[in-house]
Amino acid sequence: MSIKQGEEVMDVDEVLTKVEDLAGSSVTIEGFLIVTSNISYIAPDENTSEDTNKSILVQTNLLESLEEIAPGLIGGSAIYADSAKVRGVLSGSVSDEFPASLLEIEAVTLLRQKATFHALKKGEAASQLEKSAEVSILEVSDVLRNSEVLIGSSTRIRGFLVTTADTAYIAPHQDDFENVHNSILITDPRSLDDRLSEDTYCSGEPPYLYQEFAELEGVLCESTVEPFSVALTNLKSISLTREMGEALLIAEIKI
């Protein structure tokens, strides 16, 4: 998933030269996002991240939601200091410290080396994001029904991810996630949990580590563990989706 293709993305310097023309319009700005406990802004890059008179003040409504899925910095004044894209309504200066402001935030994307995090207003989700996977997305039931054809192929599966200390699988739905007979095994659960814990927070209730809607891409194979008939191995990526109030939170993690 990404900011919708075809939509113009401008850097901070460009936006600051067009504030009068763009004021009141929705814009997507790419730069270096700084979030502290009392202020948030987007700078042109990391080297200018302390130069507020070259930065754009950012309203915090969606930024607060990121703390539910994207680990912040430990120590120091900044909670986040990341390359990012932010979409909102541009305004002139509302503070002597900043030459412009971004209000009514619709989407925030943190761009890290091995993970990308999105916070979206729920009503904006469909228009702001689009799938970028090279393979079609299949539901768990579709994979099980066509497993003979799909064995050995790269497959992206949508379902409800469940992990414990020694097991991981994708169930068709949240309501019946304990029904493993209709689920797909993940072959290396410890490596998956280790990778997820590096980039995001656990969401499950004991004995579960993770319980959430997800898309996983890997190679489908026959399972050697009962009662699973098929398994997903050689994972390439995982996308986790969480809801918080009016925000939709998405973590895309490379395995």
What is the pTM (predicted TM-score) of this model?
A: 0.88
pLDDT at 53 over 60: yes
Give the mean model confidence (pLDDT) for residues 32-37. 93
Nearest to 4 by CA among 158, 111, 125, 113: 125
Give the mean model confidence (pLDDT) for residues 178-207. 91
Q: Give residue 65's pLDDT.
A: 83
- Token pair belonging to 219: 């190679």
| 57 against 255, higher pLDDT | 57
**131 confidence band (pLDDT: 50, 70, 90):** very low
What would the pLDDT profile of 160-169 be if each residue is shown by its tens digit? 999 998 999 9
Q: Give residue 80's pLDDT.
A: 94
Least confident of 41-55, 116-130, 167-181: 116-130
Q: Give residue 121's pLDDT.
A: 87
Q: Give residue 127's pLDDT.
A: 47
Q: Give residue 134's pLDDT.
A: 55
**211 confidence band (pLDDT: 50, 70, 90):** very high
pLDDT at 2 over 80: no
Give the range with max mean pLDDT: 27-31, 73-77, 196-200: 27-31
- Token pair belonging to 155: 């497959």
pLDDT at 7 over 70: no
**173 confidence band (pLDDT: 50, 70, 90):** very high
Least confident of 67-76, 96-105, 169-178, 235-244: 67-76
